[in-house]
């Protein structure tokens, strides 16, 4: 096996890298090992080549902004990661830089294992700051393969809100046809940040709504946001924008919108997004709007909010009544929301169509004053089927439960009067095994902490669901669900 030793000749570095040419990586790639502040400052002047790596020494702290330039390739991505033993290398931008890590017009870059802060230590607004900021604002084109994994981003800015600043953000700015392809933001811990924990945005990505159809414009592809823990944010935990068939899954969304209002996660200008296997909690505060765990926002088509666990928020899910088409909300569990279950936003709007809400389980403990439709909002163009509404105390519907073109069919109601449109309701105890016991920060890979919502074998809800074609084929715990013989609610009883 051939090998090649490459030595870096810049004065501040003495780096040796061993590479094997027959493994597909570039033979002239270089490792830049960063141990001192001087080396950290100097690396921004280096044009990185495919296969190069910036290796930050563990246990070291650096001040300022890391802003490397250059692009990798699919065979040789540029890597930014720790090296050595000890604590994560830490970058403190001090509230003086745009970000702790800035990737501008980069492709084929993989970042992992860093700790990043960006604050001057005060509670004041320090500007549009980020922990990690990825931006495309140069030539038009496709930015490919940007991976951000296992980073700890915390203490960014002060006690501020704002949608386009915060922890980890990816933006297309001032361009007309540029997209990101193969963007992965995974397994990061983002805590105590002003603005939004994870967000993306585009100057050109959007959904065009026509009279009878929609058209995608420059939507990002292969977007995957998963396994992140996002806690105490100034605004939303996550905003998902301008993507086609994106997946946002197994994220913990905790205590969002501390300094303004906003649902824990919402989508905008998306087609085919799947928001699934997430846990959202702690979104409470003084507000008449936008205090739920999940939100099917407008300018979206084919939105799937499924297999999620929402608890202890103001309400479970928002549904916006502006341009919004084909929303599916299924097999979620909502526990002990504080004010309501379904919040229909933009009360006077009438554009939302084809909203299908089925096989969700709602549990409300005694002592909570909860409405199905809070804040006097009116459901629109919606069908509710096979849902379980369980109130340990007395449940109420809200001011306008009749809705507009809204139908209930085959739902279960306990301590809640059946909806007036439901011709075949159940209103006896559904016989859960151990309801109301699921805690917080559950294992989202198995969702096993939600087994208390399984039905006892004597439950009247077993095999009682009406048939729904294309029902996803599984429940929240992964149990197979048939079309013609399914249980009501989010958990299918196992044999």
pLDDT of residue 28: 84
Exposure string (b/e) for 87-106, b if CB count within 10 Å is 16 or more? Answer: ebbbbbbbbebbbbbbbebb
pLDDT of residue 17: 39
pLDDT of residue 25: 58
Helix (H, G, I), strand (E, B) or coil at 450: helix
pLDDT of residue 443: 98
171 lies in a domain? yes
367 lies in a domain? yes
What is the full DSSP assignment across 217-257?
Answer: ES-EEEEEEES-EEEEESS-SEEEEEEES-EEES-EEES--
42 lies in a domain? yes
pLDDT of residue 494: 86
Domain that holds residue 368: 29-453
Residue ranges of the chain with per-residue pLDDT less than 70: 1-27
467 lies in a domain? no
pLDDT of residue 288: 85
3-state secondary structure 136-192: ECCCCCEEEEEEEECCEEEEECCCCCCCCCEEEEEEECCCCCCEEEEEEEECCEEEE
19 lies in a domain? no
271 lies in a domain? yes
Helix (H, G, I), strand (E, B) or coil at 19: strand
484 lies in a domain? no
pLDDT digit string (tens) for 413-470? Answer: 999 999 999 999 999 999 999 999 999 999 999 999 999 999 999 999 999 999 999 9
466 lies in a domain? no
Cα(458)–Cα(461) distance, rounded to whole angstroms?
A: 9
**How many domains are there within the chain?**
1
- 391-395, long-range: CB < 8 A, 24+ apart: 391/364, 391/415, 391/416, 392/363, 392/364, 392/365, 392/366, 392/436, 393/364, 393/365, 393/366, 393/367, 393/368, 395/364, 395/370, 395/371
**CATH number of the domain to which 102 belongs:** 2.160.20
Q: How many CB atoms lie within 10 A of CB 394?
A: 12
pLDDT of residue 27: 66
């Amino acid at each position: 096996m051939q090998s090649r030793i490459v030595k870096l000749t810049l004065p501040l570095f003495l780096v040796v890298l061993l590479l094997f040419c027959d493994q597909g990586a570039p033979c002239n790639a270089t490792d830049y090992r960063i141990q001192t502040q001087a080396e950290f400052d100097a690396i921004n002047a280096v044009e990185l080549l495919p296969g190069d790596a910036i290796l930050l020494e563990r246990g070291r702290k650096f001040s300022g902004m890391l802003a490397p330039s250059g692009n990798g390739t699919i065979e040789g991505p540029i890597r930014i990661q720790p090296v050595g033993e000890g604590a994560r290398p830490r970058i403190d931008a001090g509230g003086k830089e745009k970000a702790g890590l800035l990737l501008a017009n980069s492709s084929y870059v993989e970042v992992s294992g860093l700790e990043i802060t960006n604050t001057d230590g005060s509670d004041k607004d320090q500007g549009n700051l980020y922990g990690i900021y990825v931006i495309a604002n140069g030539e038009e084109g496709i930015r490919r393969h940007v991976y951000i994994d296992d980073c700890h981003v915390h203490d960014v800015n002060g006690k501020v809100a704002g949608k386009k600043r915060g922890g980890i953000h990816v933006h297309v700015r001032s361009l007309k046809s540029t997209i990101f392809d193969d963007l992965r933001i995974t397994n990061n811990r983002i805590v105590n940040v002003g603005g939004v924990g994870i967000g993306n945005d585009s100057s050109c990505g959007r959904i065009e709504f026509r009279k009878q159809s929609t058209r995608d414009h420059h939507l990002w592809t292969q977007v995957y946001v998963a396994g992140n823990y996002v806690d105490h944010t100034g605004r939303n935990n996550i905003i998902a924008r301008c993507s086609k068939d994106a997946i946002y899954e197994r994220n913990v969304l905790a205590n969002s919108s501390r300094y303004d209002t906003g649902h824990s996660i919402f989508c905008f200008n998306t087609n085919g997004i799947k928001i699934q296997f997430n846990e959202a909690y702690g979104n409470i505060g003084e507000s008449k709007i936008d205090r739920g765990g999940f939100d099917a926002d407008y300018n979206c088509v084919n939105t799937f909010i499924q297999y999620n666990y929402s608890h202890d928020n103001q309400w479970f899910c928002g549904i916006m009544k502006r341009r919004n088409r084909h929303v599916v909300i299924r097999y979620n569990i909502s526990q002990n929301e504080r004010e309501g279950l379904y919040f229909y936003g933009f009360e006077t709007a009438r554009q939302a169509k084809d909203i299908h809400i089925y096989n969700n389980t709602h549990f409300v403990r005694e002592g909570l004053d909860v409405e199905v439709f809070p804040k006097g909002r009116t459901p629109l163009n919606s069908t509710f089927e096979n849902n379980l509404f369980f109130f340990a105390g007395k449940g109420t519907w809200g001011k306008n439960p009749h809705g507009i073109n809204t139908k209930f069919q085959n739902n279960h109601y306990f301590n809640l009067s059946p909806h007036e449109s439901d011709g075949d309701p159940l209103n006896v105890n559904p016989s859960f095994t151990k309801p109301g016991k699921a805690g917080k920060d559950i294992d989202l890979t198995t969702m096993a902490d939600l087994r208390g919502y399984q039905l006892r074998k004597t439950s009247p809800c077993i095999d009682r669901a009406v048939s729904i074609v294309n029902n996803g084929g599984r429940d929240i715990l992964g149990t197979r669900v048939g079309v013609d013989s399914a249980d009501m609610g989010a958990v299918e009883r196992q044999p």
